């Protein structure tokens, strides 16, 4: 009976996750939610705000709590040259502000926000300016990984930059992809800094593990590969089982905690963030900001459906039906 109840709960969670991923990609749902009263306030739990000042304020507060930061200007799948140029300009401002404010922070970006889907030469132009300024200021830049349709393209482009002498760059590898062990083996050999996450896009079973248990098992396997041979890996997870596995294996092989870090999303498991920082582990918080918060928010809920309850609570508190909560 217990097993049957667990299976039903797992099925419902999977259905919810698939529904949220679908909504993240649906333009009609995006327009509806962005116009909904209180939607921006609701999103502020997980997004620092829409402006660069909002991002700076969030980063400063986290630094004061002994947490490092990576800042991400939200946007992806850009096919308009003006929008891609605007994203590059935002990152130039962002890097300069980090330097001027002396923050413990770096930046994360998506290649599709810089024009990857427009033209590779155009991507070179936009991204090159950002990487040049980051390199001049000894700042690290992380290339976020998107859906599996972009995995090989992103790694190929990364290696073109890496082999051209760029060394202030790193990538993200997703444990739900079947190919990831091979990718990490190569990245480890070349000394590339890797952020390991589970992944939050809808993928076919031929490409990604459909079962959470398999994704988790692969995460542990890949984490051990990174702890064995990786260059300052980042373990991006809010799953206490994954965190425990990383800590135990690092202790087993006597890997110094200063040679890796945990990473968590802004607004998610803040209790756990504080706990890890207090325990002496390096912790970096991924702080997103910008107007393109809707798809990001949907995928965060898909990754961890419990986040949905935070958002529902926020919506009700600002709605005409808030009396239902006694507010």
- For residue 93, the domain's CATH number is 3.20.20.220
Same domain, 25 and 37: yes
Per-residue pLDDT tens for 302-312?
A: 655 555 554 55
* Residue of 142, 82, 154 lying closest to 112 (CA atoms): 154
Same domain, 323 and 238: no
* Confidence at residue 322, expressed as pLDDT on a 0 to 100 scale: 47
Q: Among this protein's residues, is 124 annotated catalytic?
A: no
Higher pLDDT, 50 or 141: 141
Q: Which residues pair with 73 in a beta bridge?
A: 289
Same domain, 311 and 260: no
Same domain, 34 and 122: no
Report the 10 Å Cβ neighbour count for 135.
Answer: 16
Same domain, 220 and 247: yes
**Active-site choice (17, 72, 144, 299):** 144
Same domain, 72 and 102: yes
Same domain, 62 and 194: yes
Residue 280 phi, psi (nearest 5)? 95, 5
What's the rounded Cα separation, in Å, for the pair 118 and 78?
A: 8
pTM of the model: 0.82
> In which element (H, E) is residue 214 found?
helix 212-229
Same domain, 86 and 211: yes
Least reliable range by pLDDT among 43-52, 171-180, 185-194, 227-236: 43-52
* Confidence at residue 50, expressed as pLDDT on a 0 to 100 scale: 85
Per-residue pLDDT tens for 264-309?
A: 989 888 899 999 999 999 999 999 998 776 666 766 666 555 555 5
Query: Taking residues 200-226, what's their average pLDDT?
Result: 94
What single string gives the DSSP state of each residue in 42-103? HHTTTS--SSHHHHHHHHHHHHHTT-EEEEEE---S---HHHHHHHHHHHHHHHHHHHHTT-
Same domain, 1 and 82: no
| pLDDT over 70 at 196, yes or no | yes
Number of separate helices (H) and strands (E) present in the chain: 13, 8
Same domain, 139 and 274: yes
Same domain, 147 and 288: yes
142, 108 Cβ separation under 8 angstroms:
yes
What's the rounded Cα separation, in Å, for the pair 73 and 94?
A: 9
Query: Taking residues 42-60, what's their average pLDDT?
Result: 88
**Active-site choice (17, 142, 193, 195):** 195
Beta-carbon contacts of 157 under 8 Å, excluding residues fewer than 6 positions away, are 111, 116, 120, 123
283, 263 Cβ separation under 8 angstroms:
yes
112, 71 Cβ separation under 8 angstroms:
no
23, 287 Cβ separation under 8 angstroms:
no
Residue 130 phi, psi (nearest 5)? -65, -45
Q: Among this protein's residues, is 144 annotated catalytic?
A: yes
Per-residue pLDDT tens for 71-90?
A: 999 877 788 999 999 999 99
Same domain, 144 and 238: yes
Per-residue pLDDT tens for 121-169?
A: 999 999 999 999 999 999 999 999 999 999 999 999 999 999 999 999 9
105, 68 Cβ separation under 8 angstroms:
yes
| pLDDT over 60 at 316, yes or no | no
| pLDDT over 80 at 319, yes or no | no
| pLDDT over 90 at 198, yes or no | yes
How many domains would you assign to the chain?
2
Beta strands 141-143 and 68-73 are unpaired
Alpha carbon dihedral 177, 179, 181, 182, in 10-degree steps, equals: -160
Domain range for 32 is 1-47+299-327
């Amino acid at each position: 009976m217990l097993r049957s109840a667990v299976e039903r709960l797992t099925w419902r969670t999977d259905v919810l996750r698939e529904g949220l991923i679908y909504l993240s990609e649906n333009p009609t749902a995006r327009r509806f939610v962005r116009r909904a009263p209180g939607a921006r306030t609701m999103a502020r739990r997980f997004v620092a705000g829409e402006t660069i000042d909002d991002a700076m304020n969030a980063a400063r507060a986290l630094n004061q709590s002994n947490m490092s930061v990576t800042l991400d200007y939200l946007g992806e799948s850009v096919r308009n040259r003006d929008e891609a140029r605007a994203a590059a300009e935002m990152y130039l401002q962002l890097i300069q502000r980090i330097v001027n404010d002396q923050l413990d922070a770096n930046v994360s970006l998506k290649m599709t926000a810089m024009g990857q889907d427009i033209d590779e030469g155009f991507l070179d132009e936009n991204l090159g300016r950002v990487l040049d300024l980051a390199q001049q200021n000894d700042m690290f830049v992380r290339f976020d990984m998107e859906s599996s349709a972009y995995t090989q393209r992103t790694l190929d482009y990364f290696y073109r930059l890496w082999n051209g002498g760029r060394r202030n760059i790193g990538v993200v590898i997703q444990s739900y992809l079947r190919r990831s062990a091979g990718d990490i083996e190569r990245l480890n050999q070349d000394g590339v800094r890797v952020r390991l996450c589970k992944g939050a896009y809808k993928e076919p079973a031929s490409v990604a593990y459909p079962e959470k248990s398999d994704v988790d098992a692969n995460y542990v396997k890949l984490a051990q590969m990174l702890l064995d041979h990786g260059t300052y890996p980042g373990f991006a997870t809010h799953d206490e089982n994954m965190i425990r596995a990383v800590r135990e294996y690092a202790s087993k092989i006597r890997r110094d905690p200063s040679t890796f870090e945990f990473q968590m999303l802004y607004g998610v498991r803040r209790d756990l963030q504080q706990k890890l920082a207090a325990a002496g582990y390096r912790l970096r918080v991924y702080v997103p900001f910008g107007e393109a918060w809707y798809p990001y928010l949907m995928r965060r809920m898909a990754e961890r459906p419990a986040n949905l309850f935070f958002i529902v609570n926020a919506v009700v508190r600002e709605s005409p039906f808030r009396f239902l909560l006694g507010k």
